[in-house]
Structure 1
Amino acid sequence: MSVKILADSACDLPLELFESLNIDLLPLVVQIDDQQFYDLETIQPKELYDEMRNGKAPKTAQVPPARFEEAFLKYAEKNETCIYIAFSSELSGTYQTSTLVKDDVLEKYPNFDLTIIDTKAASLGYGLIVKKAAELAQEGKSKDEILSEIEFYCTHMEHLFTVDSLEYLYRGGRVSKTSAFVGGLLNIKPILNVENGKLAPLEKIKGRKKVLKRIVEIMKERGDGLNNQLVAISHGDDLETAEAMRDLIKEEFGTEEFLIHTVGCSIGAHSGPGTIAIFFLNKLN
C-alpha cells in the first residue's frame, strides 16, 4: 500500500503539484478585517498582496484542529499509512496542534499509522521537502525510505530571503519600529535565513540589486552541487525579480532545474509584497 503524504499550505507549492503528486492540502487561516479565509482555498496570494498594497494588515492562524481531525479520521478509517509533513513549529502552532489531534484520533483508531514531521522549514524550502516525499511515495517507496529522505532534506535545506519593505516584518514583531523606519529611509534590505526553524538575520545591504547579488554569493558559500539540484525561488507577487534571480543563479552555477512560485498567503502576510526567497541543499546525497 502506498504512503499518503499530507502537507499544509505554508509549503507554497503550486496547486497543480498538490494534485499531480496526490498531496492532501491542509490550509492555514488568513484573516483580513473581519473576514476569515482558508489559504489556497478561499483566498489566493495575488488577492492577499493586492489587499496589503491597499493598506490592509492581514493576520494568520494555524490549521484549525477540525481540519486535522477530518483528514486524519478519513485515512484512519481506511487504515492507510500517512506522513504529515508540517510547517516549522518555531513559526506556527500548526505542528503542535496536529500532534494533539493525532493523539485524539489514536484513541479511536489505535492502529492508525501516522507519522508527523516538524520540518523546521518554511515556504518552498518546506515545499521541496514535501515534493520529494510525494515523489518517493508515488514511486512506491516504503515509509522508512521516505522518512529517511525527509530527514536528510530537513537537515540540509537552506533558506535565504529578503523583503522589499521592513514594514511587514515590523507588524509581525520581527523587527523594531525604528529599524523598519530607518531601513525604509535608507533603502536598506535585510538578508535573513532560517536557523533551527526560526527566522534569523544575516546581513543588511543597501539597495535591491546589491542584495540579490549578495544572496548568490552566500549560495556559493553554502551550496553543494548547485548545478545538479533543483533550486526553488518564491516571490511576493514579483515574478520579474524572481526570474532575474533565476538568471543570476543559472549564470553563476549552471543550474538547470528551478521551481518558481508565489509566496503563499500564510507566509506572505508577514513578509509582504516584493519578497524574494531562495531554497537549496547544502549537501547532496
Structure 2
Amino acid sequence: MYKIVIDSCGELPEELKQDKRFSHVALTLDVDGVQITDDETFDQASFLKLVKESPNGPKSACPSPGAYLEEYKGEAEHVYVVTLSGELSGSYNSALCAAEMYHEEFDDGKQIHVFNSKSASIGETLIALYVQKLEESGLTFEEVVQLTEDYIESMNTFFVLETLETFRKTGRLSRLKSFVANTLNIKPVMASTQTGYIYMLDQARGMKKALTKMIDRMIEKTKDCENKIIAISHCNCPERAEFVKSLIEKVAHFKKIVILDMAGVSSMYANDGGIIIAV
C-alpha cells in the first residue's frame, strides 16, 4: 500500500482529490495580514482581487513539519512526498524534517522519500502521477525512488505571465523592468533551471507571441514526445490554456495533455492570466 503526499503548490485533478492514496499539505498565504489557507476552501477570484488591490507583495508560508508528519501516519508502507522547489520554499526541508521525526517516533518499517520537484505547480503534479504509475507497475520502493529522481532531472517547466506585478511587489523584479515590460507589452518567457531556480529564457511583444515562443523552446528541449505527458496550468484563463494546447498539438504529438486551474501558491505568482507548462 502506498501514499503520495503533495504540497498545495501542486494541482491535483478532481479524481485524485477523491483518491485516499493522495493527500495535499497546505501552504498559507498572506495579503496585508489576511491569512488564506491554500486548501479546498481557497477562493481564487477573491484572492486575486486582494493581491491586485494591495500595494504590498503577498507572502506564503510553508507547511510545518507537524502537518507533514500527520500525513505520514497510517497504513501505507510506502510514502512518497512531492514538494515545491527547495530553491523557492522551505516546504522541502519541512517535509524532510517530518520524515526524521516519524522514524524517531515510530519503528514500523515504513519507507518515506521526499522529492524536491525542482519545479512548482503542474510540475509537481506530473511527478506525483509518475510515482503512481511506477508503484502500480509493481516496482520496489527503491526502484520507484530512483526512476522518479531521474524523471525529475529530465523535466522542464516554462511559464508566461500576463503581468509581472507580483514579482515586482515581492522584490523579485525591479520596478523599472516591470514598468518597461508592462508599458511595451513585453512578455518574458520564463523557465526553471535544473536546480529549481527561475530565469528568463526568451521574450516577445504580446501574449500570443510569447506563448508561441514558449512552445518553440519547449519543443527544443523535449525528446520522445509521444511517450510523455505534458501538463498546462492556468490562472483563471481556460481559453488561453486551450490555445496553448492547440499550439502544442500543431507541433508535436504527446501521449496526453492535461489542463488544470492553478491552486493558491501558483496563483499568487502567476497572477490572473498566467500560464505554466511542464513536461
TM-score by length of 2: 0.91
Question: Root-mean-square deviation (CA), in Å?
Answer: 2.1
Aligned residue in 2 for 1:61: 61
Aligned residue in 2 for 1:107: 104
User: Alpha carbons of 1:7 and 1:232: their partners in 2 closer, same or farther (altered >3 Å)?
Assistant: same
CA distance in 2, matches of 1:259, 1:105: 34
CA distance in 2, matches of 1:228, 1:139: 16
Q: What's the CA shift for 1:173?
A: 2.2
CA distance in 1, matches of 2:10, 2:32: 25
Structure 1 gaps of 5+ residues are: 281-285
2:149 pairs with 1:155: no
Per-residue CA distance 1:105-157 (angstroms, 9 max, x = gap): 22211444212121212111121011111233344432123212311220111
Q: What's the CA shift for 1:29?
A: 1.1
Per-residue CA distance 1:202-250 (angstroms, 9 max, x = gap): 1221111111111121122111122442111111111111100100110
CA distance in 2, matches of 1:46, 1:228: 36
Aligned residue in 1 for 2:209: 210
User: Alpha carbons of 1:248 and 1:194: their partners in 2 closer, same or farther (altered >3 Å)?
Assistant: same
Give the stretch that moved more between structures: 182-191 or 248-257. Answer: 248-257
User: Alpha carbons of 1:227 and 1:69: their partners in 2 closer, same or farther (altered >3 Å)?
Assistant: closer
CA distance in 2, matches of 1:165, 1:199: 16
Q: What's the CA shift for 1:101?
A: 2.3
CA distance in 1, matches of 2:169, 2:52: 14
Per-residue CA distance 1:86-115 (angstroms, 9 max, x = gap): 221101001111222222222211444212
Give the stretch that moved more between structures: 166-175 or 38-47. Answer: 38-47
CA distance in 2, matches of 1:45, 1:14: 16
Aligned residue in 2 for 1:81: 78
Task: Give the match's secondary structure for 2:103.
Answer: helix
CA distance in 1, matches of 2:226, 2:144: 24
User: Does the 8 Å CA contact 1:26/1:68 hold for their aligned counterparts?
Assistant: yes
Aligned residue in 2 for 1:283: none
Aligned residue in 2 for 1:98: 95
Task: Give the match's secondary structure for 1:151.
Answer: helix
Aligned residue in 2 for 1:231: 230
User: Alpha carbons of 1:97 and 1:15: their partners in 2 closer, same or farther (altered >3 Å)?
Assistant: same
How many residues of Structure 1 are paired with residues of Structure 2 in the alignment?
A: 276
User: Does the 8 Å CA contact 2:188/2:204 hold for their aligned counterparts?
Assistant: yes
CA distance in 2, matches of 1:16, 1:48: 25
What is the one-letter code of the residue matched to 1:16?
E
Matching residue within 106, 118, 121 for 1:120: 118
User: Does the 8 Å CA contact 2:225/2:255 hold for their aligned counterparts?
Assistant: no
2:7 pairs with 1:18: no
User: Does the 8 Å CA contact 1:23/1:134 hold for their aligned counterparts?
Assistant: no
What is the one-letter code of the residue matched to 2:204?
I
Aligned residue in 2 for 1:164: 162
User: Alpha carbons of 1:137 and 1:45: their partners in 2 closer, same or farther (altered >3 Å)?
Assistant: farther
User: Alpha carbons of 1:87 and 1:137: their partners in 2 closer, same or farther (altered >3 Å)?
Assistant: same
CA distance in 2, matches of 1:177, 1:137: 47
2:177 pairs with 1:179: yes
What is the one-letter code of the residue matched to 2:127?
I
Aligned residue in 2 for 1:189: 187
CA distance in 1, matches of 2:14, 2:30: 21
What is the one-letter code of the residue matched to 1:95?
Y
User: Does the 8 Å CA contact 2:5/2:79 hold for their aligned counterparts?
Assistant: yes
CA distance in 1, matches of 2:218, 2:84: 23
CA distance in 2, matches of 1:231, 1:38: 28
Q: What's the CA shift for 1:37?
A: 2.5
What is the one-letter code of the residue matched to 1:169?
F
